[in-house]
Chains A and B, each alone.
Chain A
């Protein structure tokens, strides 16, 4: 015990950024609880169930490289029991640093946070035994099969695959046909699904998912979120990050984060309703040319590709734009006023910075 704790402290001190290999080892380290610990855990859980905030973050900050990079800047939020909270922000916004502090892998510079009532600095052992964490780049045991990986995780948490099978069923069935295959021989998305099953198998009461659907195909993404929605009704709180804006709709609340700061916290619907720009979907026969021409049109605040059409924040009149595009030789032009999606909100909040 001492040496592990010592190693963790040392890691925390020496380098605030853990390389993925050490992080993985730390996450994998969860020795079975002693009888005494189990008792303690049981006690605390009955106490905690009465509180609603399973994750509580207050003015948390973290910097790297001798304070030259402020990765997390005075961040506060809460995640309640039965809630899915989404952290949405560009690459490098500080999401993963927040996950690492809350899962006790790195220490905050200032501020405080509790998970299930436990302090992320003082009570790291309790937190680790009660949460599930799926880091963005998860390393499985490449030489173990799907089945062996899962059994391994179940065992270190003192449970069995059978006991909590219902939690992972929907995702597990997709990789089950290959359960004897070594993790190293799985496709990228199959690995991701296995990693998620491993994070869930001990029925954690707080689940941290750092980009759980990256590399997962569109059909499976939908199934995964349906699974998370179902899971919510159990005694659990979920903090997730995602680069897929359509997934933000599956969260109860989302926090838009940029440059280490949380800009807004709202429900997805609330966020969409706050959007107040004149937004249009514009399509034409040649989308690549359309996008280029739109860049030159003066009365446009912003324009960008959006699947098979362009989204445009148009300050002028749409009839003028249509005439302009026709003059430029485009055909089959359609300009339709639309309601913003979360992705439009996201792009707008970044461009307003």
Chain B
């Protein structure tokens, strides 16, 4: 079992009241969320992670507002996944401060896990379980009762047009379908914020657009979306983006402002201008 899997199996919140504020699948209603503090965004100050002498994330400071779609960009090895894992309460920071949905990443990691959804770069679903079993499993992990899971599962399967494949093994599904399902299970418990690590990598252009429809749906329901991607057209779909270079945040703004500032026609050009300043070695 890798760390992500462990997290998911280990993490079974003891008592959990979802309440009846869940609006799924109807749009437009902002869910109250589970967290007592109810601040759906996040903020980090000088957040740092070192592995031995190597500083993977180097004093990053930024804020994400509730309901925002925030794109977290950067070249390979810039430190995106490492930063995200700290924010999800999966990896202990070396120094700095951060709160996610109002909870402290040092002291309240368990609270954070309950209030977020996370779709990792590597692991997101059990390949040898069926679609239905995965939904039931993840619903259970987040403390939903079977009676709550059932109706939500039905409307989810309907919405994704997955009714025909509900009893198929996940491994038999095309990648793009898996990713849509993984995203839906990551927000099945209506978290305040969802972290998506390269959710569309390898997904074809048509399915990627469907995936982004799901992201917009979630965002309209008030779920904050924190997403990494290497597709620069997707960067354009974010409200704001940050660009990480060598563990630091080099730029942070709306796509429009970044393009203006760098005198660029596309986010691709902005990325070229900034991302290759990377210099670091072991």
Point out residues on A near B: beta carbons under 8 Å.
Answer: 17, 64-65, 69, 89-92, 136, 174, 177-178, 180-181, 185-190, 192-193, 211, 214-221, 243-245, 288, 304-308, 343, 346-347, 350
Interface residues of B (CB under 8 A from A): 51, 74-78, 80-81, 121-122, 171-177, 198, 201-207, 209, 212, 216, 230-233, 236-237, 255-256, 266-268, 271-272, 275-276, 280-282
B232→A218 contact, CB < 8 A: yes
Residues of B within 8 A of A346 (CB): 204-206
A90 to B209, CA, bound (A): 12
What are 23 A-to-B residue pairs whose CB atoms are below 8 Å? A65-B172, A90-B176, A91-B175, A92-B176, A174-B76, A187-B76, A187-B81, A188-B76, A188-B81, A188-B201, A189-B75, A189-B76, A190-B76, A215-B202, A217-B74, A217-B275, A218-B275, A219-B272, A221-B230, A243-B205, A305-B237, A308-B267, A347-B205
A308 near B266: Cβ-Cβ < 8 Å: yes
- Does A343 lie within 8 Å of B205, measured CB to CB? yes
* CB of B56 to closest CB in A, whole Å: 9
Q: A185 — which chain B residues lie within 8 A by C-beta?
A: 51
* A304 in contact with B209 given A177-B281, A217-B275 (CB within 8 Å): yes
> How many whole Å from B207's CB to the nearest CB in chain A?
6
Q: Which residues of B contact A177 (CB under 8 A)?
A: 280-282
Q: Which 6 A-B residue pairs are closest in the complex by CB-CB distance?
A: A189-B76, A92-B174, A91-B174, A177-B281, A214-B202, A91-B176
Contact between B198 and A215 (Cβ–Cβ < 8 Å)? yes
User: How many residue pairs between the two chains, A and B, have CB atoms under 8 Å in the bound complex?
Assistant: 115
Nearest-Cβ distance from residue A73 to partner chain B, whole angstroms: 16
Shortest CB distance A295–B (Å): 11
Q: Which of B175, B177, B233 contacts A306 (CB 8 A)?
A: B233
Contact yes or no, B76 A218, CB < 8 A: no
- Which residues from chain B contact A217 at a C-beta distance below 8 Å? 74-76, 230, 271, 275
Look across to chain B and name the residue whose beta carbon is closest to the beta carbon of A242.
Answer: B202
Q: Which residues of B contact A89 (CB under 8 A)?
A: 204
A218–B81 CA distance with the chains assembled, in angstroms:
17
Whether the Cβ atoms of A178 and B281 lie closer than 8 Å is: yes
| Contacts known (A177-B280, A181-B282); A215 close to B201, Cβ less than 8 A | yes
Q: In the assembly, what is the distance between CA of A291 and CA of B281, in Å?
A: 44
Can you name the residue of chain B whose Cβ is closest to the Cβ of A193?
A: B76
| A288 B205 Cβ-Cβ under 8 A | no
Q: Of all chain A residues, which has the CB nearest B127?
A: A19
Residues A178 and B282 in contact in the complex (CB < 8 Å), given A188-B81, A220-B75: yes
Q: Are B276 and A219 within 8 A (Cβ)?
A: yes
For the complex formed, measure the closest distance between the CB of A207 and the CB atoms of chain B, giving whole angstroms: 19
Docked Cα-Cα span, A186 to B282, in Å, equals 12
- Chain B residues with Cβ below 8 Å from A218 are 230, 232, 268, 271-272, 275
Taken together as a complex, chains A and B put the C-alpha atoms of A55 and B282 apart, in Å, by 41
A218 to B78, CA, bound (A): 13
Q: In this complex, what residue of A is CB-closest to B168?
A: A65
Q: Given A189-B76, A190-B77, A288-B216, 16 other A-B contacts at CB below 8 A?
A: A17-B171, A65-B172, A89-B204, A90-B207, A181-B282, A185-B51, A186-B77, A187-B77, A187-B81, A188-B122, A189-B77, A214-B201, A216-B76, A244-B231, A245-B205, A308-B266
A347 in contact with B206 (CB, 8 Å): yes
A307 contacts B175, C-beta separation under 8 Å:
no
Question: How many angstroms from the CA of A306 to the CA of B204 in the assembled complex?
Answer: 14
Taking the closest CB of chain B, its distance from the CB of A296, in whole angstroms, is 16
A307 pairs with B76, CB closer than 8 A = no
Least CB distance from A245 to B in Å reads 6
Report the minimal beta-carbon distance from B52 to chain A, rounded to whole angstroms: 10
Across-interface contacts of B206 in A (CB, < 8 A): 90, 346-347, 350
Query: Is there contact, CB below 8 Å, between B230 and A216?
Result: yes
Q: How far is the CA of A64 from the CA of B169 in the complex (A)?
A: 13
Contact (Cβ within 8 A) B203 A243:
yes
* Contact (Cβ within 8 A) B209 A305: yes
A65 to B256, CA, bound (A): 49
